[in-house]
Structures are given as C-alpha cells and as structure tokens.
Structure 1
Amino acid sequence: MPRISELLGGDDPTFSFEFFPPKTPEGEENFKHALTELAPLDPSFVSVTYGAGGATRDKTVEIVRHIKETHGLEAMAHFTCVGATTDELRETLAEIREAGIDNVLALRGDPPRGQTEWVASEGGLEYSHQLVALLREDYDFAIAAACFPETHIHATSPEDDLRYLKEKVDAGVDFLITQLFFDNQLYYDFVERARAVGIGVPIIPGIMPITSYGQIKTITGLCGATMPEHVLGELDARQDDKEAVAEFGVSYATMQCADLLAHGAPGIHFCTMNRSPATRAILSALRLWQPWDARRTGLGEPRRPPVGA
C-alpha cells in the first residue's frame, strides 16, 4: 500500500477523514458506525488524533492498526511530544513502526487539561521541528505537519508562524494539513505566502462540515478560526433548528470544497467528528461533480495557486 506522500500530486485529488479516539461506550458506537459507513467510500487515507496532552496515545496506535488491518485503509497516527521524554517518544515510535504504520502527523501538541501554557517535559522536546527532525533522522515514516491559514493562536505574528512552519518543513515534512477554515480566500492567501518563503510541499485543506450550531461555536472559539459574516448570519437564523443547521452546513462545505478543488487544492481532509452523514453527502456530491476537472464541468480555467510540490 503506497504511503500518503506517494498519493499526492496525481491527476485526481485525495480525500481523507480524521477520527478521534472515543472515550465512552456511546462514543465507541458512534466511531464504529462512522468508520463502517465511511470506509466503503475508499478514502485515500484516514488519520487518528491524540487527546489533549497525549492522553490517548496508546489508543490512537491501536485504532490506526485496526483501521489498516480490518478495513484495509492507509492510516496515519497523530503524534505529539507532550508529556513524554525523548526516550518515551522513541518507545511509542517503535510501537507505531511495529504496528505496520507508515504515516505520522507530527505535532507539538496542546497542554494537558488544566494547563493554559505549553511547557516541555524534562528530557523531552520543546518544538515540533525537533520532533520532525527525530522522525526524519531515525524512522522511515511519511511525515505530515499542521499549518494555520489564520495563524496559530499562540504565534506572535503571521510572519513568525510561517518562519516556524518553514523550520518544520525543512526538517523533513512531506506534506501539510491545514486547520479548519470557512473562507477559502484565507487558504489561497496562506498558500501564496507559504510559497513565497520557500515552502513547496503539498498543502491539504482541512474542512469541518458544520453540523451543530453550538459545537461549531465552541470549536471556532477554541482554535481561533473565523467565520464569514454572511455564513454566521445564515447559522444564526437557523440556530433553533438542528436539521436546518446541518443541511446548511453540508451545502456550504460542498461549495467550499468544490471551489478549493477547482482552484488546484491537492485534496480535502474532512474532520468527521466521528460522524458519517455530512462527510458521506459532501464526498458523494464532489465525486459526481468532479470540480477539479474544470474543462469537463465548464467552470473555466481556474486560478491555480502553486499547491503541489
């Protein structure tokens, strides 16, 4: 099975799903159902997150192994350096390698619950580029990293954020996945700025379909993602009707993804929140429409930012 880095850059875009390790019996059922419903869509790959502070490290590895062995899908483990020494990181990386996992998303990680500031563990790593360097020097993984079209919430400036991103990429990153965003111009502008500083790897947009008014308000508040005023107005008008919010969310995400693909994005990484209906509807529509083939769809020659390596 090809590694994720080998799937990028072809004629067709990649489609991928992000899951998180469930914490409750109900969550387990939701996850199993979502995986069962989404696996037949034949995604290019899936990824599995860590909990805050690396709380689900062992479960992440277990789930990725299960996805590969049971469903035959290429899978990627998120991996952070929170709460671990370098030796402990190496132990986990050995487990990942022994599990037959070939793809890792390298992250510094968020502070454990109850902590507001990130502090490196004694004997551990402080920066994500150090983690990337460790992976590249000593392990044969395809390496992904995160990037932030609206700038990381803890960055001192957009320029510093890009400088740190370039350090990560120069350390050995194969491709990038963005944090969620709701205005495509933010992605296009970010890609242009990244290319201008010498970042040449593929940059996959991360898309979260809006399915719940309260949930999206909470998530955007935590990560700092903004929402266009006209989109916010449509959501506010529907906030008391859950079905109307979800229907609008699917429609908006479908249009958002179609525009991205028509303008050269290398793929779409869906944040599923361990639910299947929205992602299934969006991906099914995109595959019927094929907006990346502008000549066939009549969209005209798209403006193509240099998103590929």
Structure 2
Amino acid sequence: MPVPAVSFEFFPPQSLEASFRLWDTVQVLSPLKPRFVSVTYGAGGTTRDLTRDAVATLHRHSGLNVAAHLTCVRATKEETMEIAEGFAAAGVTDIVALRGDPPKDAGRFTVHPGGFRHSVELIEALAATGKFSIRVGAYPEKHPEAASPTADVEYLKRKFDAGADEALTQFFFDTEHFLRFRDNCAKAGIDKPIVPGIMPIENWKGIRRFATNTGTTVPQWLDEAFDKAIRDGRQDLLATSLCTEMCTDLMAEGVDKMHFYTLNKPELTRDVCHALGVKPDLQLENVA
C-alpha cells in the first residue's frame, strides 16, 4: 500500500514549560515531512493570542507549512478578518475555519454581536479574499448539536460550496464510522478530500472523557482492553498497536492522508507513523 501523507495538530503553549514541550514536539515530528501542521484555539477562543504567536513562531522558525485555526467565537466579523489578514501578512495562508466551541461555562454557542453566525459565513468571507487555503471540520459520527447524521453531511456540503478545500474529521475509534461517512458524503456530491482525524491514545482516561464530551462512541471492548493494559503496564504498547491497525485498515480502503491529534506528545504519533512506513528525512532528523 502507498505510504500515507500525514499532518499534525498542536495546541498553543500557555507556559514556558509548555513552550519547550511544543518545540520538542515539532522537532520530533518535523522529520516526517508533514503536509502541514495546525495550531488550535482553546474553547471559547481563550487562546486566540497564544495561537497567533505560536503560528507566527512556527512559520518563521520550523520550516513547516503552518495552518492557523480560526473561529467565530468572541469576536466581530471585522476582528476575525483582521486576525486572518494578519496571518496572511505573516505568510500564513492555510486556515482551519471552525465555528468554535463555546466557553466552558456557556453551555451552547452564542453568536457574538456583529460576529459570524456559523462556520459557513466565516468560510465565505475567507474565500472571498482569495488569499487562503481553507480546511474545515467534519464529523463521522453525529455532531452533538446536529439534528441527524444526514444533516451533518448536508452542512459539510455547504462548507465546501462556500469555498472550503478540505475537511479534517473528528477522531473516532471504529473505522466503519469514517468509511460510512465518506460514502454518504460521496452520495451527496462531495468530491473534495475528507481526511480522517487520528487520535493516538496517550492517556486513556483523558481521551475517554474527551470522547464522551464530543459524542464519540467508545466500544466496550476498548474500555476493557485499556483497563487490562493499564494494570499490566502495557498501555503504550496497546495504544501503538491499535492506532497502527486502524490506520492500516483505512489505508486498505484507499485513505491516503491522515491528520494526527498529537496533544503536544509526539512519541506515540511518531511510532505509529514509522509503522505505517512514513520514514523520517535523515537530514531533517539530524538538524532536529
């Protein structure tokens, strides 16, 4: 099978120690020659300035193609587009355009006065500038706020019609969820790339809690497998094996691109990529 093209997601550091961890993560993963790396916003736009700083720093010093997350939360349309124009002026022309999660104490998303009402409006505004390559989110399982799985597919089609170039999915534990979603998107006339989001399981309890909050199905066998592996001290081995197997299954179904959510912990992602045949550029590795 052909070796997949990979990309990685990071989150912006909020302390000096976290800054070193982010740079270490970049150093470990950059030799794998990712298509791009992305830097997230926190819930409610809480890390907007940190994201902007991290994107600018990585763009200047890492040699990687950096994509900035941009959301509709807590900002007017003018403020949001000013941030986008700032990215463009700095040479960052890849945007991951999202509605964004509400602040943790808000419950549901609320439109900011004068702000974009949803991601489609943001995508239209970014596309109208002609300056950006636009990626968007997609949900193999129903988004917690969506009326139905069909509504999710229809909304993704609206994002592409508005000017998006590629979709990155929420993570999942069962490849059938992604494959079924991909088939339904094709039936709906979507012909642009839909890239599966892959979450290597660094910490099962934390990832499980995150999965519950995002509506991601957790199979009972996975709970049982990690309970036993944690007791035996083999959770990293299990995580690497399961993630590699899932990615291999996706590759067998024609998936040629994967987006890894690293949580700024690069070792497991690196090991899975190596197992998939994504080999490091030795010159870049020596520089790192």
* Fold in common (TM above 0.5): yes
Identity among equivalent pairs (%) = 38
Is residue 74 from structure 1 mapped to residue 65 from structure 2 by the alignment?
yes
Match of 2:11 among 13, 20, 23: 20
Runs of 4+ in 1 over 6 A off after TM superposition: none
**1:132-281 alignment, distance < 5 Å:** 132-241=123-232, 243-281=233-271
Deviation at 1:231, TM superposition (A): 2.2
Relative to structure 1, is the Cα distance of residues 288 and 178 closer, same or farther in structure 2, using a 3 angstrom cutoff?
closer
Deviation at 1:161, TM superposition (A): 1.6
- Tell whether the 8 Å contact from 1:203 to 1:266 is kept in structure 2 after alignment: no
The aligned residue for residue 103 of structure 2 is 112
- Tell whether the 8 Å contact from 1:82 to 1:120 is kept in structure 2 after alignment: yes
SS across alignment from 1:287: coil
Cα RMSD, aligned residues only: 1.6
- Tell whether the 8 Å contact from 1:211 to 1:250 is kept in structure 2 after alignment: no
Is residue 131 from structure 1 mapped to residue 122 from structure 2 by the alignment?
yes
SS across alignment from 1:264: coil
Q: Distance in 2 between matches of 1:121 and 1:107?
A: 14
Deviation at 1:139, TM superposition (A): 3.8
The aligned residue for residue 285 of structure 2 is none
1:99-127, CA deviations, whole angstroms, 9 ceiling, x for partnerless residues? 10010010000101311011100111111
- Tell whether the 8 Å contact from 1:144 to 1:176 is kept in structure 2 after alignment: yes
**Matched AA of 1:224:** G
Deviation at 1:272, TM superposition (A): 0.4
**Matched AA of 1:217:** R
The structure showing larger relative contact order (alpha-carbon pairs under 8 Å, at least 6 residues apart) is 2
Deviation at 1:229, TM superposition (A): 2.8
Q: Distance in 2 between matches of 1:256 and 1:139?
A: 37
Deviation at 1:230, TM superposition (A): 2.4
User: Which residues of structure 1 form unaligned runs of 5+?
Assistant: 1-10, 290-309
Deviation at 1:12, TM superposition (A): 5.4
Count of residues paired in the alignment: 278
The aligned residue for residue 299 of structure 1 is none
Q: Which moved more, 1:267-276 or 1:159-168?
A: 159-168
Q: Distance in 2 between matches of 1:40 and 1:65?
A: 20
Q: What is the TM-score with the length of structure 2 in the denominator?
A: 0.92
